[in-house]
Amino acid sequence: METPREPFSEAMTDRQKTVWPKTLHRVPGLAAARGMWILERHSMFDVNSFQQSNRRDWLKVAGMGTMAAAAPAIVPASVLGENAPSKRINLAMLGCGHQSQRLIPSFLVHPACRFVAVCDVNKRGTGYYHPDQILGRETAKGWIEDYYAGETRSGRYKGCDTYVDFRDVLARDDVDAVVIAFPDHWHAIMAIAAMAAGKDVYCEKPLALTIREGRAMVDAVRRYNRVFQTGAQFRSSPAVRRACELVRNGRLGEIRRVRTWVAGNHFDSPGPGWQPQPIPAGFDYDFWLGSAPLAPFHMERCFHRWRYIRDYSNGQTTNFGAHTNDIAQWGLGMDGTTPIEYEDNGSEFLPAGSLFDTASKTAFKARYANGVELICETRSSSATKFEGTEGRLEITLGGKLVTYPENIRDSVIGAGEIRLPVSNPDHQQHVRDDVDADHAGDFLRAIQQGRDPIEPVEIGHSTATLCILGSIAQIVKRPFKWNPATERSDDDEVNSMLERPFRAPWSI
């Protein structure tokens, strides 16, 4: 999931650019008993050299002083309960790029799990969302081991292995679950292989590159009886849940229309006539391409900008659309199904020959079987707006809830009314880091309890299907009908775009 951050200062040194932008630190000695954590932004944390003196400095900043430093590193299993080492869920991180900066800390804060491996085809390099930021498997390993080192008396920890090939990770018997943040064209391949190997899966949104791949993932979850969480984190937002409960309980009257907005492209594309570039050292480009067609390397093709290229993604329509349209689905009570009609609504694309070939301006509309219209368009801020006969409600991905009339916002949901699932009842406000961590925590509890999480694979698939069909409508530039039950269209060209060929040796 792509979330803009503050740009690095031009005055920052190369060493500072390896600093984890947001780091989560457990308060020693208190975590097991009270589950307390500190989110601290500080520049002393360097993934390559986190010295004991720095750790002492941080403890002072956190107000713990020498008492915290003296806290016991070993806590009896009777105190830890489900968090005892023998019951911990061992995780592997598949994909150590931009989104790993959110995912890794979101899991680190939970004592119920421990990262034992990271995997990425890039060893360590630049070219991500912040072009000079250094990411990759070695960087991710450094974050994880430095974090766990804070739990030891020695201040040292080595226990997170690095891999290029995800299949080597899946061969490990001690890996219980994987967190997938590779580009979209890898989701189905990795997730299905992981489930066949007996692993539970947390997979970033959108669920899959194509509708056929998404259906295969649904079938695999049920065939192998695995726990699967789609990384649509805003299902774990108290503000989003509140908005959807208001809609579901009729506060807006009969819903006639829902509008969803997605961000535009954040980067300019190399134009027609762009030239290939040398492949960086430490980057296995052929493995990165995977099932996608062979193509000449360009920095803008990989790392972060891949999401604007159709071989690997369906653009912002499925990137941010997998959030705002997911909220629309939740509020309308349409999980597990999709609209039945789609058409382009003025989308735009870059000139032929540009490297980026997904819609540069998203604009499509769709209609559900009950007549509700969905309009998805590009806007500077991503949000979902429900329009009913008695009011309107807009909820942004930042958690801002606005209603008209205003008193709808404070309406009390009664005891006999619809209540939607909750990831963490202790959190009543939208705080983005809490939302991410609560979504991860719901996945971990689902594994412990043997249940579906808040966004199981079927929901992720129906939302991804809506977005992918919207992308297809923007390409074919004509209306078509869709049957959610058979997952087929009345348009032969649309049906031909429901799957894509796989480059050997990859398959699902």
Secondary structure (DSSP) of 282-300: TB-HHHHHTTSPP----GG
Q: What is the pLDDT of residue 131?
A: 84
Say what the pLDDT of residue 85 is.
66
Q: Is-contact 202 179, C-beta < 8 A?
A: yes
Which of 184, 205, 185 lies closest to 103 in space, CA to CA? 205
Q: Are 276 and 392 in contact (CB under 8 A)?
A: no
CA distance 229 to 278: 37
Q: Which residues of the chain have pLDDT under 50?
A: 1-79
What's the pLDDT at 80?
A: 52
Helices (H) and strands (E) in the chain, counts: 16, 17
How many whole angstroms separate alpha carbon 16 and alpha carbon 386?
43
Q: What are phi and psi of 386, to 5 degrees?
A: -100, 135
Tell me the C-alpha distance between 306 and 313, whole Å.
7
- In 3D, which of 100, 123, 306 has the Cα closest to residue 298? 306
pLDDT of residue 86: 66
Helix, strand, coil percentages, rounded to 5, for the chain: 35, 20, 50
The ranges assigned to domains in the chain are 20-182, 236-436+453-496
Question: Residue 82 has what pLDDT?
Answer: 60
How confident is the model at residue 32, as a pLDDT? 29
203 - beta bridge partners?
A: 180, 230
DSSP for residue 312:
T
**What's residue 41's pLDDT?**
27
Q: HSE on the CB side for 456, CA within 13 Å?
A: 18
| H-run or E-run covering 367 | strand 363-367
180, β-bridge pairs: 94, 203
Please name which of 340, 286, 296 lies closest in space to residue 486, comparing C-alpha atoms. 340
pLDDT at 18 (0 to 100): 37
Fold of 236-436+453-496: Dihydrodipicolinate Reductase; domain 2 (3.30.360)
What is the token pair recorded at 224?
């192998």
CA 6 to chain centre: 19
